[in-house]
Amino acid sequence: MTNRDSEKLNLKGPVHTVTTERQTSTGSSIEEREFDVHGRLIRLVCGVHDSVDGAKQCEREFRYGPDGKRMDLNVRVEHHRDGSRTKIVPVYERNIWSMDGLHDYYCGTYWACRSQTRFDSYGVPVETTFEDVRNDEVSKIRYVCDENGRILEAAQNLGPGFFANPLVSGAGPQPLSGDAEGAHTPIALGTEAYRVSFRYDNAGRVTESESHFFGRRNHRSAMTYNDHGDILTLVRDDKPPACFEYEYDERENWIRKIVRYAQSSKQETRRITYY
C-alpha cells in the first residue's frame, strides 16, 4: 500500500499541480490538486461552471504533522500499548462515511455522532464502530484484509443504538427485501446493512468490487488496466460498458482521457506541472 496521495492517483514523478477539466451536460467542472515535494495533497480546489446554477467554487487546504500524517482538528487518535491505535472522527453532520481502502464506497452513519476505527499494530483496519450521543453502538463494520493490509471485505451490522433512535423505535421494524427473489427479512439487532468486497491484481489495483445493501446486491464492477496502470475497460451492472483511451506526457501521466460508450463518449483533460 502507498501513503503518497499522488501515487494513489497513479501520478508519476515529482508532480506539483494537476488541473483536471471535465465537460458536463450543462457546463464544465475544474478540479485542481496541489502536492508538496513528498507527494502529499496540500490544496484542493473544485469549481463548477453550470449554465443552470451558475459558477461555484470550494477550496480546502491540508496540513501535516512532524510524523507526516495529515492534521485535522476534528480527528483524535488514541495510541495503545500493544501498538494499535483508534481513530475517532465526528460524523454527526454526515449521512455517509468512508475511509482509505474502501475505494470510494460509502457506508451509512444512521444518526451516529462519531466513528471509531481501530487499527492493529501494522496499521491494518480491524473494525469501525459508530456511536450515538449516548455512546450506544449504532453499527459496526468489521474488516477482512489480505497479507498486504488491503481490505477484501467490509461488513456493517446494526447495533442497539440504531433501534433506540425514535425514527426507528417509533415506526417499528421495517421489512426489507433480503434477496433477489424479493424475500423480506425484518430488521433486527445484528442485521447486515451493508457489505462491500474487493479483488486485486498483483500490483494492488482493484479488479472487481461488489456491494450489497440489506442482503441485496446493488453494485458490481470489473475493470482492467493498461501498461501505464490506468483503467482500460470498466464494466458495471448499472451503466453501459466503457473503454478508455489516453494521451500521455513525457512523464507517462495522462493529459487527455476519452471514455467511450456504445453510443457516446466524454473527455477529460489535465494540465500537470512538476517540481
Write down the pLDDT at residue 56: 84
Interatomic CA distance for residues 65 and 76, integer angstroms: 13
- Residue 59 in any domain: the answer is no
The residues, ordered by sequence, that sit 6+ positions from 62 with a Cβ below 8 Å of its Cβ are: 40, 41, 42, 43, 44, 70, 71
* Cell (9 digits) for 17: 499541480
Write down the pLDDT at residue 183: 64
Residue 241: is its pLDDT beyond 80?
yes
Closest CA to 138 of 191, 73, 85: 191
Residue 3: is its pLDDT beyond 80?
no
Distances (CA, A) of 175 to 60, 181, 214: 42, 14, 10
Write down the pLDDT at residue 154: 98
More confident residue, 47 or 175: 47
pTM greater than 0.85 (yes/no): yes
The DSSP call for residue 51 is T
Residue 106: is its pLDDT beyond 90?
yes
- Residue 62 in any domain: the answer is no
The DSSP call for residue 122 is T
Distances (CA, A) of 238 to 173, 179, 242: 29, 18, 12
- Residue 39 in any domain: the answer is no
What domain count does the chain have?
1
Q: What are phi and psi of 227, to 5 degrees?
A: -70, -15
- Residue 64 in any domain: the answer is no
**Any bridge partners for residue 161, and if so which?**
none
Q: Could you read off the pLDDT of 62-103 as tens digits, one per residue?
A: 999 888 888 887 899 999 999 999 999 999 988 999 999 999
Write down the pLDDT at residue 69: 83
Average pLDDT, the chain: 91
Domain range spanning residue 119? 72-212
- Residue 180 in any domain: the answer is yes
Q: Can you list the alpha helix ranges (DSSP code H) found in the chain?
A: 5-8, 160-164, 166-169
Q: What are phi and psi of 224, to 5 degrees?
A: -125, 165
- Residue 150 in any domain: the answer is yes
- Residue 4 in any domain: the answer is no
Q: Classify each residue of 227-243 as buried b or exposed e, where b means 16 or more C-beta atoms within 10 Å of its C-beta.
A: eeebbbebeeeeeeebe
